[in-house]
Structures are given as structure tokens and as C-alpha cells.
Amino acid sequence: MTSRFDKERVVKPGFNEKVYRAAQSIPKGHVVTYGDIATYLGSPRVARHVGWALSALPEASSGKIFNNHSVPWYRVINAKGRVSARDDILRGQLQLDLLAAEGVEISSDGKIDLNSSRWILSR
DNA sequence: CGTATGACTTTTA
DNA sequence: GTAAAAGCCATAC
């Protein structure tokens, strides 16, 4: 039945899963923003929850795994073209390192070139 | 159930 | 150009 919460809810059971699949659809050497994934899933307002979903990623041996496939969480960045890990700045460092290893162009300041490496989510 | 927090985004200064 | 505040939505306590 429809409770008042079922109306326009974008983040529902399975949202988390969609985020993982979206991340897995990002080709090597490209990146997307949280807002892009949120919009792709239905609403740009849930950008924060995309990050929340990624933080909830099950940590398997040597990386985050979903559906027996590694989830390239590091290909997801914020709209400023930079990582914003507040308490886990170490993760941001790792993220830049992984992206650089894939061929993503990063500015001297550590900013990611969204103009060139941004991937458009599409089904 | 109310308050606090968050891997965000946009606007304003 | 960077810095701070407000806005949004869901989870955690």
C-alpha cells in the first residue's frame, strides 16, 4: 500500500545497488560526480546518499566488491573535480593515485580535469 | 520521535 | 579564484 513515504522517494531499497552498477559502468580513465549519479538514478538531491552508499560498500579482500565485481569507487568524485573526504583524507590521496594510474589528467593542485575525463552516465 | 551527521551541490560574499 | 552558509534527503543514535 501506499504510505505517504512511497510517493516521490528516489532512494529506496536497491538504490545502493544502482549506485554500484553505475560506478561499474564508468570506463577506465573516466570519472563522474556524485550529482551525475544521483541525477542518473532519478534525482540530483540524493547526491549525498550516493556517497553514503559508497561508504557502505562491503569491503572484501583488496577492495570493494559488489556482485563479484570490483567497484571503482575512486572514479566517483565531487562537482569541484576534487575529493572531499573529510575525516578520511587518506582515501582522497589513494583516489588521486588510482585515477592517475588509469590515465586521468590531474592538475598540479590535485584537481581532476572534468572537462576531459568526465563520463556521461547512460544506459 | 527529535537531533546530529554526512565520500554533496549550489549560492552568496 | 577560494571560503562560508544554506539547502536536501536519508541514516544513525
Q: Which residue has the higher pLDDT, A2 or A61?
A: A61
* CB proximity A34–strand B (7 Å threshold): yes
Please give the order of strands across the beta sheet that includes A69-70. A59-60, A63-66, A69-70
**DSSP conformation class of A27:** P
For A53-111, write each residue's pLDDT tens digit: 998 887 766 678 888 899 999 999 999 999 877 656 678 888 999 999 999 999 988 89
Record the pTM.
0.89
**For range A106-119, the mean pLDDT:** 92
Nucleotides of C under 7 A from a protein CB: 2, 7-11
Does residue A120 carry a pLDDT above 50? yes
Provide the pLDDT for residue A85: 72
- The three-class DSSP label of residue A31 is strand
A117 touches strand B (CB under 7 A): no
Neighbours of A78 (CB within 10 A): 15
* Maximum Cα–Cα distance across chain A: 54
